[in-house]
Structure 1
Amino acid sequence: MGSVNGDDLTKDELLSRFLQLEQRVEEVEQENTQLRKKLQEKDEQIEELETRLRKYENPHTPPSKRRSGTDESPTSQDDEDDNVRTDGGTPGRKDGHDPEWRSTADPDEEIEVTCDCCPECGDHFDESVGVSPRLVEEIPDPQPPEITRYNRHYYQCDSCGTETVATHPDCPDEGQFGVNVIAQSALSRYDHRLPYRRIADRFEQLHGLELSGASAWHATERAARAGRCEYEQIRQEIQDADVVHIDETGIKRDGEQAWIWTFQTVQHTLYAVRESRGSDVPAEVLGEDFAGTVVCDGWAAYPAFSSNLQRCWAHILREAEDAAEKQAEGEPIYQALRQVYVALQARLESDLTVRERADLQRVARRELESLIERSVPDGPVATLLGKLEGGLDHWLTFVGEPAVSPTNNAAENALREPVVLRKVIGTLRNDRGMFVHETILSLLATWRQQGRNPYEELRRVVSSNEMISRAHAVPAVKTSE
């Protein structure tokens, strides 16, 4: 016999209650297990969302890429749709901007559109009382491919035994596709961002030309090989430039990490795909004796390459704003840094002499030094001041050199197209893919900077390459024996 709460219970009743309590404990443990599982899932979701948020809201993200104030997830927006705004704005002309109208084209043909009688009552018209002109622009129907057979005669010299094969300007030295197919394949890939199988589909749909995705790839590779000489000319122009903007971003090479670098001047853009993110890349592309000014962000490879730098103010201001949001001591530093930059920009709008620029540079340096000397607790603001101090010799280069920009926006904008293509391509498979990628991207970007038509320029370099290769070809020699 036992007693619980003053009531006498039998052994069987005690055992029954014990079993009930044991069952309840087991149920509670199961509930706790389920709750812990749900809590773990929630923690994983929170971690994933925070990771995505850091991608779009951090001091290294330019304003154009930051999320808008909507509830829409950043990944739900189509990065390739130019009409989707990520800064909360709307497409179209902004207030205060002059409208742009299409220029009126001259007609190639005029057709008189007349009517004999009234469509309502059927009464006959005597003559027209006016004209309501309308210009209509149309493109011709897609044309089927022209298939030409070139019977290339070959000859043997009776004197020296040399064999010569006759050439024709429209007959390529290799492959069965002509200049237009090669140019359109490269443009479809790198301008229209089409996969190679889609390029093949496009040729078949529009022109009835049957070719495989592999054939489209080989045609694009031929365009890259034809344009490589011009690529090296662009590199030479950039090596001789006074100011070069440089930036880099990640890309995959056969699934492994690689980097695509951009080197940009006012008239030229060069891309280089390398497996390194170190100072050896700018040394290779620009040459170790490069004497110009490099506009860049704070990546360590740049000061390791050159001491003549201009650090990007857009980056440091974003970092200062971010530090101010995280630590109260950062707000006055951010405001002071921003005021220095705005004041410098306003002062440089006037035509200053070399001496006035030097004086302005000294005054601005003292302002930065006074910010660096502020005492702040450890945290984001201390890190910010450390970056300011580390780049003290490189923040004010633009004050003394009029041709130098205070931001690296030019290089960041130049990387926009490779970043979009990265989403389409996924990974470059091998060295040949890296070669094609950097060559075609460089040619198209440079031609656009210079106001040239990319399609016509691609046709030109492919045609020129055929002529050059024939001019330098060594004919086969066969002895009389």
Structure 2
Amino acid sequence: MSEIPAELLAEMTPAVRAFVASLLASMESQRARMQEEIDDLKAQVKRLTPQNSSMPPSTQHPHARPTPKPKSNSKRKRGGQDGHRRVVRQLVPIERCAEVHSLLPENCRRCGKVLTGADPEPIRHQVWELPPIEPVIVEYQRHRLICSGCGTSTCAALPCGVPTGQFGPRLLAFTGLLMGHFRQSKRRASLFLSDLLNLPCCPAASVKMQNRVSEALNQTYEDLKGLLANQGQLFMDESPTKQANQKAWLWTAVSSSFAVFAIFASRAATALPKLLGDQFTGIINCDRAKMYWQAKRLQWCWAHLKRDFQSLIDHHDHQVKRLGFDLKTPVETLFTLWHKYKSGASSWETFQTEVKPIRDQVDRLLLRGVFSENKRLIGMCNELYNHREWLWTFTEIQGLEPTNNTAERALRPAVIYRKLSFGTQSEAGSRFIERMLTISETCRLQKRSVYQWLTAAVEASLSGRPAPSILTDP
């Protein structure tokens, strides 16, 4: 009762005193409980790393102390091992060399006698070098002639495919790649063109080229986006970005042969039908974010789950830590069986048989967490158990993957771009980025040159023709 001034304490009846004392005790208990929760949350934040959470690796400071790994008993040194296949740059045919210099020794290196003749098999040493870069400038002289009959002047039109501006298709494609594929800013791209290629350029000109390239990609982008609804499986992920200092989200949907990126103002579930359409019935590989739950069938990412279980292991609560260890063991066995199947060492039917006891074991462990009365375990385990069919879709349908690594790899260049540029500054900039990322990743999946395809697409656009198909098997 020391918190109550003495003069007020003297005026209280015993009943009031008892009531106030109970209130103070309740407040103190609540304060202690809240402080405990705050301390626990602070400890969790300090423990979170890309290895035990969904935090991207780029969020970790480059000088952060790495998580200690168990020491390996292997005595191998770092680098190439004895017996590994040697990789060397092959010599090109002599006909391809711009210059060939025959070097003959004049005197014997031992006695000094003059040497004559030639070596039928000289040691060939080739040096690769960049040529002096000079832009190719083509001038079109449009004559204006006056009709002798009616006096009307007529000016010659530019040939089909010749741009009305000063930038040719290869230059447009190259500049688009600099900004959208190689993540250079408008100013850096213009400096590169000026300093290295001797092409006078300013940031405003690079923006004009960006818009021209974006226009050339529009129809191909929309065609790929329309194909998403018919895919049997898609890997999906999203990452925060900005547009004109407003928060936005960059989404990606990756199939086996192409990828589509889109920037929306929200991460809400309403973005999903905007990207996939209303008719999508396939399976989505994703993390456990709830906006994906509207899909008919999911495959939750086991790589995310491994990190979540590692987070339990890193917790200070022994009950939480114990369940984390118990969950991690069957997960490691699961991936061992999966890699064994993927390598061809076991059949699909064998894999399905061997994975059944693991599935039962994980389900039992999740139920243990549900009834643990531990607030750190109940929520996560309850969610996983109630939707446990989304954990095992890949064991029921052959050809599915257990992780969402495909989407994360596709999204990584976009995340690096965002960190370098802080997002886009306009609607047009967002459209360019989502189209360029789509073309870049699709060309990678198709194993084709993005520069060659982009040049062909820009040439087609300048000639009024549709862009060539980007899919080898549309």
Which TM-score bucket, shorter chain as reference? Answer: 0.7 to 0.9
User: Is the 1:340–1:364 contact (alpha carbons within 8 Å) kept by the matching residues of 2?
Assistant: yes
Match of 1:386 in 2: 382
Match of 2:298 in 1: 309
Shift of the 381–99 alpha-carbon distance from structure 1 to 2, 3 Å rule, reads: farther
Q: Which of 216, 225, 228 is the matching residue for 2:218?
A: 228
Q: Which of 412, 416, 429 is the matching residue for 2:412?
A: 416
Match of 1:267 in 2: 257
Q: Which of 114, 125, 132 is the matching residue for 2:103?
A: 114
In 2, Cα distance between the equivalents of 1:50 and 1:360?
36
In 2, Cα distance between the equivalents of 1:155 and 1:253?
52
Q: Which of 129, 134, 149 is the matching residue for 1:143?
A: 134
Shift of the 50–397 alpha-carbon distance from structure 1 to 2, 3 Å rule, reads: closer
Specify the SS of the correspondent of 2:458. Answer: helix
Shift of the 153–383 alpha-carbon distance from structure 1 to 2, 3 Å rule, reads: farther
Q: Which of 192, 197, 203 is the matching residue for 2:193?
A: 203
Q: Which of 88, 92, 101 is the matching residue for 1:105?
A: 92
Measured on the aligned residues, the alpha-carbon RMSD in Å equals 3.7
Specify the SS of the correspondent of 2:248. Answer: strand
How far did residue 336 of structure 1 move? 3.5
The reply on whether 1:366 has 2:343 as its aligned counterpart is: no
User: Is the 1:253–1:428 contact (alpha carbons within 8 Å) kept by the matching residues of 2?
Assistant: yes
User: Is the 2:253–2:259 contact (alpha carbons within 8 Å) kept by the matching residues of 1?
Assistant: yes
Match of 1:400 in 2: 396
Specify the SS of the correspondent of 1:393. Answer: helix
User: Is the 1:260–1:271 contact (alpha carbons within 8 Å) kept by the matching residues of 2?
Assistant: yes
After alignment, is 358-367 or 320-329 more displaced? 358-367
How far did residue 75 of structure 1 move? 4.9
How far did residue 470 of structure 1 move? 10
Shift of the 184–303 alpha-carbon distance from structure 1 to 2, 3 Å rule, reads: same
- Which one-letter code corresponds to 1:333 in the other structure? L
Q: Which of 238, 241, 247 is the matching residue for 1:248?
A: 238
How far did residue 324 of structure 1 move? 2.2
1:367-417 deviation digits (Å, cap 9, x = unpaired): 333112213232323333123224312000000112211111111111110
Match of 1:293 in 2: 283
In 1, Cα distance between the equivalents of 2:453 and 2:140?
26
In 1, Cα distance between the equivalents of 2:245 and 2:299?
34
Match of 1:330 in 2: 320
How far did residue 455 of structure 1 move? 1.2
Unaligned runs of 5+ in 1: 1-46, 68-73, 78-84, 472-481
In 1, Cα distance between the equivalents of 2:138 and 2:68?
51
How far did residue 296 of structure 1 move? 0.3
Specify the SS of the correspondent of 1:452. Answer: coil
Match of 1:132 in 2: 123
How far did residue 238 of structure 1 move? 3.0
Specify the SS of the correspondent of 2:379. Answer: helix
Match of 2:348 in 1: 352
In 1, Cα distance between the equivalents of 2:139 and 2:53?
59
User: Is the 2:244–2:424 contact (alpha carbons within 8 Å) kept by the matching residues of 1?
Assistant: yes
Specify the SS of the correspondent of 2:307. Answer: helix
Equivalenced residue count is: 403
In 1, Cα distance between the equivalents of 2:52 and 2:83?
31
The reply on whether 1:376 has 2:372 as its aligned counterpart is: yes
Shift of the 52–366 alpha-carbon distance from structure 1 to 2, 3 Å rule, reads: closer
Shift of the 239–155 alpha-carbon distance from structure 1 to 2, 3 Å rule, reads: farther
User: Is the 2:250–2:262 contact (alpha carbons within 8 Å) kept by the matching residues of 1?
Assistant: yes
Q: Which of 309, 312, 315 is the matching residue for 1:320?
A: 309
User: Is the 1:267–1:450 contact (alpha carbons within 8 Å) kept by the matching residues of 2?
Assistant: yes
Q: Which of 46, 53, 61 is the matching residue for 2:55?
A: 61
- Which one-letter code corresponds to 1:458 in the other structure? L
The reply on whether 1:453 has 2:449 as its aligned counterpart is: yes
Unaligned runs of 5+ in 2: 1-40, 72-76, 468-474
**Percent identity of equivalent pairs:** 22
Q: Which of 400, 421, 435 is the matching residue for 1:425?
A: 421
Q: Which of 172, 181, 190 is the matching residue for 2:171?
A: 181
Normalized against structure 2, the TM-score is what? Answer: 0.75
Specify the SS of the correspondent of 2:311. Answer: helix
Normalized against structure 1, the TM-score is what? Answer: 0.74
How far did residue 57 of structure 1 move? 6.1
Shift of the 92–203 alpha-carbon distance from structure 1 to 2, 3 Å rule, reads: farther
Shift of the 366–76 alpha-carbon distance from structure 1 to 2, 3 Å rule, reads: closer
Specify the SS of the correspondent of 2:464. Answer: helix
Shift of the 250–233 alpha-carbon distance from structure 1 to 2, 3 Å rule, reads: same
How far did residue 124 of structure 1 move? 3.4
- Which one-letter code corresponds to 1:435 in the other structure? R
